Structure 1
Amino acid sequence: MSISTSNSTPKNASSGTSTDSKNGTMSATTTTEATRRPHLSGMTWLVWRQHRAAFWTILAATALSVAWIVYQRGQMMDFLDGYGYPANSLDEVGNEFQQYGDAFSYVSTGLTAIPILLGVFLGAPLLAGDLENGTAKLVAAQSASRTRWLATKLGLTTLVVAVITVALSAAFGWWWSPVKSEVTVMDWTSSEAFNTTGPVPVALTLLSVIGGVAIGAVLRRTLMSMVVTFGFTVVLQLVWSSFILSLGNVITVTTNKGVIAENSFPTLPDGVYQIDESYITSSGKLLGWSTCAEGDSDAVREVCLKKADVVGWSVDYLPMSQMNGMQWFGASILFALTAGIAVFLFFWGRKRLV
């Protein structure tokens, strides 16, 4: 009797083994699939693909802007080190620092326009375009819910906006920090400084973008939504800028050594924003600083001030040390408004985003 054996050929793709052709033995091998790179899938992939041109443009422009800011800071620091700052005051530098001051002005103006630009060109069309061309109906007919679609749209857009604004805010604040106390370079209470550093640009841009999304969802027409969003973001900037000073705690300092003598005016910390100055009488009453005209001689002014019972100055100001607290307080208000609009979108959009 003969015994026959049959050798089965192993399938390397499924079993992970291979045959040694020399001795006919089976040797185990480790088969690994090609390493996959992290990639988006499902609804996230769909939303990214739909808006990838806008997202990549924004991210690329941000990267170039940050690189330019880093270069400008290096140039400025070389100048300041050579000049001997801060031992030597910039008040005596003349026009040599003007180019760096102009650079601050140009960049800060551009950064203050970002909430408006993103609100109009990213936020307003985000849902309005889908509602106008029928894409929203197509999505609603699929297995994914409208809530998930809306959450992905807002989530991915919010992430991109947060990344670019955090990067620009950090870069610009880092550039400005060496000369932050120099009012001649940039006043910290101005919108060009306050709205472009810290958490404020993030919060202000998110409110502009999510506000634009809500406007687009309600109006359902892209062009009309962009026009209305432009008006909304401009008004938001104006109202917010007028609201900045009320975020801080005003400090009042008074003197009682007259107002004409040398060094009679109170000494204020560097970089303060002076809100008001008045004469103060012995009874504590405040009088306008023009009570006794500046054009009169010192002798006439002294008689006038004595008659008015003026004993010194009363000065109201905001110190720069409050800037960070004011920014976070203001940003928390903006974040709360943004969250409120987002909640409205979810409750309203569950039935009407078709």
Structure 2
Amino acid sequence: MTGLTGAPGTTDAPPKHSRLPRLRGLTWLVWRQHRTAYWTVLAASAGCLAWIVYQRTALTDFLTGHGWPARSVDDLGTELQPYTSDFQPVSMALGLIPVLLGVFIGAPLFAGDLENGTAKLVTAQSVSRTRWLAVKLGVTGLVIVVASVALSVAFGWWWSPVRGTATVLDWTSGSAFDTTGPVPVALSLLTFVGGAAIGVALRRTLASMVVTFAFAVAVQLVWSHFRLSLGDPVVLTTERGVTAEDSFPVLPGGAYQLDQSYLTGDGDLLGWSTCVQAADEQAHAACLRAADVVGWSVEYLPISQMGGMQWLGAGIVLALTAGLTVFLFVWGRKRLV
């Protein structure tokens, strides 16, 4: 008869090891130290994702019931408004996320440790300064990337059925451009790393948060100023005159007009205000003939360039983030204690 334990012929079953990854060592310590902030970011992102999924389902149900995608969304007019009115406030809220991450996650990340002496305690152990910096940046950066990627994909998925409708969201505005694709991820990482670097330099939590807020706002302002310069403008010209009803060129759907000018027979461009002071229509037409105006020249950005512009801009932002990261390690190794 075989015994339960230790009897002859009995083979003890090997202990079962969990296949789930477990945090250990310094990674566990960093997670435990900042777990409240991490779980807050992840939980808020999960709640926002669930709400976006609900809104997207309602939108597609409405569009499908009205013949979409065979029927153009533009034909729905005001019927579409109840299902798209939330795009603007949600996109504005998402646009604030990089600022919030920089101020409340990035700035206190190292400033708090330097201010209360935790950094000195950790580096007095067997942990090198470089490893302490790398693990704290890496774990926190991973949480930020996961949350921002998920929100970017979800918002783009929600917006995609009405993407070409300028009355819902203009794709060149920050409401759409900065909340979809790689842009929100890049901006979040830049403000986070910038806040962390400011915290290492100032060594005081509150002061670091204030300066980081100013830094994040400056980033948003500079980014919005140069956003359209990332594209390659397309020029469309006509030679059907400028006074007839069908003389103005028809732009592709979703195109964003940058500029318009009069085109002369010699190929020169005149401002659209040329001859605007003419007394009447006949005088205006005579003025245009005297200036040899033959048609329009319109400069625009097609919506097809949106993806390329986003990746180019994100690449520039990530390059700046890499530079700040190098500064953080070089400066932080000297200032960590």
Give the alignment's TM-score, normalised by structure 1: 0.90
**Cα distance, 1:333 vs structure 2:** 0.6
Paired residue type of 2:202: L
Structure 2 CA distance for aligned equivalents of residues 47 and 87 of structure 1 = 52
Q: Secondary structure at the match of 1:18?
A: coil
**Cα distance, 1:99 vs structure 2:** 2.5
Aligned to 1:35: 17
Q: Secondary structure at the match of 2:9?
A: strand
**Cα distance, 1:86 vs structure 2:** 4.8
Q: Mapping of 1:225-240 within 5 angstroms?
A: 225-240=208-223
Q: Secondary structure at the match of 1:264?
A: coil
**Cα distance, 1:294 vs structure 2:** 8.6
Structure 2 CA distance for aligned equivalents of residues 337 and 290 of structure 1 = 41
Counterpart selection for 2:144 from 161, 167, 171: 161
- Runs of 5+ consecutive residues of structure 1 not aligned to the other structure: 1-9, 20-25
Paired residue type of 1:38: P
1:114 maps to 2:97: yes
Structure 2 CA distance for aligned equivalents of residues 272 and 334 of structure 1 = 25
Aligned to 2:122: 139
Aligned to 1:185: 168
Q: Name the Cα RMSD after superposition.
A: 1.7
Structure 1 CA distance for aligned equivalents of residues 242 and 120 of structure 2 = 73
Structure 1 CA distance for aligned equivalents of residues 239 and 77 of structure 2 = 36
Q: Secondary structure at the match of 2:156?
A: helix
What is the number of equivalent residue pairs in this alignment? Answer: 334
Aligned to 1:291: 274
Structure 1 CA distance for aligned equivalents of residues 279 and 155 of structure 2 = 47
**Cα distance, 1:34 vs structure 2:** 4.0
User: Could you tell which deviates more after superposition, 26-35 or 37-46?
Assistant: 26-35
1:270 maps to 2:230: no
Q: Secondary structure at the match of 2:96?
A: helix
Aligned to 1:215: 198
User: Could you tell which deviates more after superposition, 209-218 or 81-90?
Assistant: 81-90
CA separation of 1:294/1:52 partners in 2, compared to 1, >3 Å: closer, same or farther? Answer: farther
Q: Secondary structure at the match of 2:288?
A: helix
Q: Mapping of 1:190-339 within 5 angstroms?
A: 190-293=173-276, 297-339=280-322
Structure 2 CA distance for aligned equivalents of residues 226 and 351 of structure 1 = 21
Q: Is the 8 A contact 1:259 1:265 kept in 2?
A: yes
Structure 2 CA distance for aligned equivalents of residues 161 and 236 of structure 1 = 18
Q: Is the 8 A contact 1:115 1:204 kept in 2?
A: yes
**Cα distance, 1:98 vs structure 2:** 1.9
Structure 1 CA distance for aligned equivalents of residues 229 and 77 of structure 2 = 34
Q: Is the 8 A contact 2:201 2:335 kept in 1?
A: no
Paired residue type of 1:18: G
**Cα distance, 1:88 vs structure 2:** 4.5
Structure 1 CA distance for aligned equivalents of residues 309 and 298 of structure 2 = 20
Paired residue type of 1:331: A
Aligned to 1:48: 31
Aligned to 1:97: 80
CA separation of 1:94/1:324 partners in 2, compared to 1, >3 Å: closer, same or farther? Answer: closer
1:353 maps to 2:329: no
Aligned to 1:3: none
- Runs of 5+ consecutive residues of structure 2 not aligned to the other structure: none
Structure 1 CA distance for aligned equivalents of residues 318 and 197 of structure 2 = 15
Q: Mapping of 1:3-22 within 5 angstroms?
A: 18-19=6-7
**Cα distance, 1:32 vs structure 2:** 2.5
Q: Which has the larger radius of gyration?
A: 1
Q: Deviations over 1:95-116 (max 9, x none)?
A: 3322333210011001100000
Q: Is the 8 A contact 1:260 1:298 kept in 2?
A: no
